[in-house]
Structure 1
Amino acid sequence: MTNNCEQRSISVNKISKVSKEPISENFDMSDEFTVENMSTNENEQTTSQSVNTMGCEDALEVNSELIIPQKDYDPSFVITPTLNSFQSDAAEVPFTISENICFHLYQCYLHSKFCDIELQVPYVQDNSIKVHAIILSRSQYLKKLIETDGPIIVMDVDDPNMNQEALYICIGHLYTPHYNCVTSSNVRYVLATAYHFELKDLCDFARDFIKNILNPYNILVIGQWLENSITYGEYSEEIKNSIFDYLAVSLPTDLQVFPEKSIYQIMKDGIGDIDSSFPNSGYYKLVDIYALLPFNWFKRVVESDKFSCPTDLDRYHFARQVISARAKRYATEDRPKQYEAVFMSFGSDCPILVTNEKS
């Protein structure tokens, strides 16, 4: 292509990895990076130029190459994209530039710089957050609000599981990944907020996080939370299923509740030695945990064919122990007396039947 205006190929000389440390209050929005003039003219001396990251309107990035015409360019001149001859840098440079852009936008958000949207939320400090519409639109839920409500958005989602910490994590996640901000203490609130914001990747992460931290000390808290909170679609159901699997399979196995052969199995087979430690401390710990479960949870777990129990008689006597512990609990808590019973069920798929209704 021939043109009176000289075209120069400018490639990034050196850009360091973005520091994740918070910047100081004197944040300068005119930060610059240095690029090296890679002119193909051998007689022209290589020079260094400074390109402003906020005002480079006449720069075009093409495969890690910035094509910048001279300042006395012809207005009718059209820049033609060219391939970068330095192929080794082609994969690294775009990633570094995009990382810098994300970091730059995130810092603008943290300092409320150049924000064009005000998000009004009653449970955050000062009742509002200033953000960027282009970033907020990554959430389909927030995108609809921007398109209908304009520059001031009022959050009117009524969910007690949404709080300030989770809101900041979800908004920050729209700018740059915030997975490392999710903890065992805030994951339930993050899941709730991400679900309303329609952030599938963050919802998936929160769901898997909860499934991986299940233990005897938090299983009841998480279970009661799911029972009493708003339903979060498939995520609530998947977590419930994981809780049931943990209660029926993993927990009895971890606590070593039942020996390989109980007294009932030995009596049936006529061979083997009775485990003198049965029932052990793990057995009684599992009884205590099951005694605290909502009745429908207890019924589903102990009747499940996944329940780690050597014989039907073991299952029956274990269920009786749990029901006895539950009756003592009701009396201690001064609650109305509950009728709960367990029956051996013959000729059916389920060997025992747990019920709270009088026949």
Structure 2
Amino acid sequence: MASASNGTSTNGHTDAGPSRKAASSSSGERASASSLLDNGAFTAFQATQQEHDASIVAHIYQSGFQQGNYADIQLIVLNRSYRLHCLILSRSPYLDHLIRSTPTKQIYIPLEQFPHITEEAFAIALGYLYASASMNLVTPANARSVLATACLLGGMEELCAHAYELCKTTITLENAHNWVEFLSTIPFSSAPSSPRSASPLPTPNENGIPHNHHFQNGYTQWSGYTQHPPAPPPSAIFGPYAERLRGDVFHFLVVALPGQLAAAGSNVSEVLVNVYSQLPFEYFKAAIESPEFPIGNDHQRFQFAKAALAIRKQGIARDAEESVVLAFGGRDQGQSNVHITRRMAKRRLFKVGQ
């Protein structure tokens, strides 16, 4: 068997294609080609290469992923069965591990262990292993699930980043509490992170392969495979994006939302009191004490906190004792003089026989 170190692949032919080391060698190859061709001819040569590569990718996606031709492995996801290809699936560290550790050519993905991942999102991520055209199927409705799937499978940073950016655009006044509730199910080790600046959403390619729900890789019933790989914790599924999203939601509540309300001529304080009175304590405390908090001076901030606490006492904080303290001297260090504290309310004890 020929060694790849001398420029020959393990299949015995000269290695002229892209590889993990292509970045260091491609510039020399282009320089060699450009020395033989004038600028116009070289540009046409590059365009021909790109068209050829695009046609290969389209063929692999349509024939390999959508139709399951020449498959060498079966992937079972809930009630759906995919005929796929080990070489392509091995781009995912998670799937590569399952392929190497499973003695048969049938792999079961226990999607029921991952409540944030849907069949639709898993299909999009599988398609992405074959071609980036699958990114065109990511929508505001499925972006969060696609992000979870891409983080779980691994090796999909571009898809993760695209889904994450789309998630950020969906945070609104109407669904902010839903986002907070969702993030509360994801473990974190610190208070909500500092505000993050928003970046524009990349525009998807409109010339991608359209979604087709009638793939030959269709639905089959499966009940005979029982081996389940262990489920990672929720924080591992979302990876670093859990903390980023937590920071984005916090930024929206403290910076973006007040700005939107002011621009619309709304009563900022009145709306925020109602919103903040429903937040988990960690978010409420971090928001009130944040230097970015938009409600006036310390006295106004103190009065705002008292109004929110009065509502919280009747609802979300009825089993706790939350209070606000106005200190002095913190502003010199860029800190708030208004602090929120909390302790659980003491339960009344009864003597036996009372």
TM-score range, shorter chain: 0.5 to 0.7
Q: Which residue of 2 aligns with 1:211?
A: 168
In the aligned structure 1, how far is the partner of 2:288 from the partner of 2:135?
36
Corresponding residue for 2:69? 113
CA contact (8 A) 2:269 2:295 kept: no
Give, in whole Å, the separation in 2 of the partners of 1:316 and 1:62. Answer: 69
**C-alpha distance in 2, partners of 1:95/1:148?**
37
- 104-113 or 347-356: bigger deviation: 347-356
Distance, in Å, in 1 between the alignment partners of 2:82 and 2:179 is 30
Q: Which residue of 1 aligns with 2:108?
A: 154
Give the TM-score normalised by the residue count of structure 1: 0.65
Q: Which moved more, 1:171-180 or 1:161-170?
A: 171-180
Distance in 2 of aligned mates of 1:61 and 1:92:
21
Cα separation, 1, equivalents of 2:16 and 2:142: 42
Judge conservation of contact 2:89–2:129 (CA < 8 Å) in 1. Answer: yes
CA contact (8 A) 2:254 2:294 kept: yes
- Aligned partner of 2:110: which letter? D
Q: 1:342 aligns with which of 324, 334, 337?
A: 324
Question: Of residues 233, 255, 265 in structure 2, which corresponds to 1:249?
Answer: 255
What is the letter of the counterpart of residue 219 of structure 1?
A: A
Q: Give the Cα separation in 2 of the matches to 1:352 and 1:336.
A: 22
Higher relative contact order (CA 8 A, sep 6+): 2
Does the CA-based 8 Å contact 1:116-1:130 persist in structure 2? yes
> What SS class does the counterpart of residue 91 from structure 1 fall into?
helix
Alignment correspondent of 1:19: none
The share of aligned pairs that are identical, in percent, is: 29
Could you tell me how far apart the structure 1 residues matched to 2:319 and 2:275 are? 20
Q: Relative to 1, partners in 2 of residues 1:358 and 1:99: Cα closer, same or farther, differing over 3 Å?
A: closer
Distance in 2 (CA, whole Å) between partners of 1:91 and 1:141 is 35
Query: Structure 1 counterpart of 2:304, which letter?
Result: F
- Give the superposition deviation at 1:161: 0.7
Q: Per the alignment, do residues 313 and 358 of structure 1 end up closer, same or farther by CA in structure 2, a change over 3 Å counting?
A: farther
Q: 1:61 to 1:343 in 2, by over 3 A?
A: closer
The alpha carbon displacement at 1:358 in A equals 6.8
Deviations 1:252-287 (A, max 9, x none): 122129xxxxxxxxxxxxxxxxxxx9xx63322211
Residue 339 to residue 148, structure 1, CA distance change in 2 (3 Å): same
Matched, 1:287 2:244: no
Greater radius of gyration (CA): 1
Q: CA deviation at 1:96?
A: 0.9
Contact 1:255 1:283 in 2 (8 A): no
The structure-2 alpha-carbon separation of the partners of 1:281 and 1:138, relative to structure 1 and needing over 3 Å to count, comes to same
Please name the residue that 1:315 is paired with. 301
Contact residue 195 and residue 203 of structure 1 kept, 8 A: yes
1:307 is paired with a residue whose SS is coil
Closer/same/farther in 2, CA of residues 193 and 282 from structure 1, 3 Å limit: same
- Aligned residue for 1:328? 314
Query: CA offset at residue 194 of structure 1?
Result: 0.6
Q: CA deviation at 1:336?
A: 5.1
Corresponding position of 1:87: 42
**2:145 aligned with 1:139:** no
In the alignment, structure 1 residue 222 sits paired with structure 2 residue 208: no
Residue 140 of structure 2 corresponds to residue 184 of structure 1: yes
1:162 and 1:197 mapped to 2: Cα distance? 11
Contact 2:323 2:342 survives alignment (8 Å): yes
Structure number with the higher strand fraction is 1
The CA distance in 2 between the partners of 1:357 and 1:327, in whole Å, is 13
> C-alpha root-mean-square deviation of aligned residues, in Å?
2.8
Q: For residues 137 and 315 of structure 1, do their structure 2 counterparts lie closer, same or farther at Cα, with a shift above 3 Å needed? A: same
> Are the aligned partners of 2:147 and 2:159 in contact in 1 as well (CA < 8 Å)?
yes
CA separation of 1:236/1:358 partners in 2, compared to 1, >3 Å: closer, same or farther?
A: closer
Identify the residue that residue 303 of structure 1 maps to in structure 2: 289
Q: Distance in 1 between matches of 2:54 and 2:99?
A: 26
Secondary structure in 2 matching 1:293: coil
What is the SS of the residue equivalent to 1:249? Answer: helix
> 2:97 & 2:176 partners in 1: Cα distance?
37
User: What is the CA distance between 1:239 and its match in structure 2?
Assistant: 1.1
Please give the per-residue CA displacement for 1:292-326, whole angstroms capped at 9, x wherever unaligned. Answer: 21111111111111112320011111111111222
> In the alignment, is the contact (CA less than 8 A) between 2:325 and 2:340 conserved in 1?
yes
Deviation at 1:62, TM superposition (A): 7.1
Q: 1:40-98 CA distances to partner (integer Å, 9 max, x unpaired)?
A: xxxxxxxxxxxxxxxxxxx99979xxxxxxxxxxxxxxxxxx96865342111111111
Gaps of 5+ in 2: 1-12, 18-31, 187-233, 346-354
| Residues 120 and 154 in structure 1, CA contact (< 8 A), matched pair in contact too | yes
In 2: Cα distance, 1:183 partner to 1:114 partner: 31
More helix by share: 2
Query: How far apart are the structure 2 equivalents of 1:350 and 1:98?
Result: 57
* Pair 1:164 & 2:119 matched: yes
Instruction: State the alpha-carbon separation in 2 of the partners of residues 246 and 308 from structure 1.
Output: 12
Distance 1:154 1:295 in 2: 40
Q: Secondary structure at the match of 1:118?
A: strand
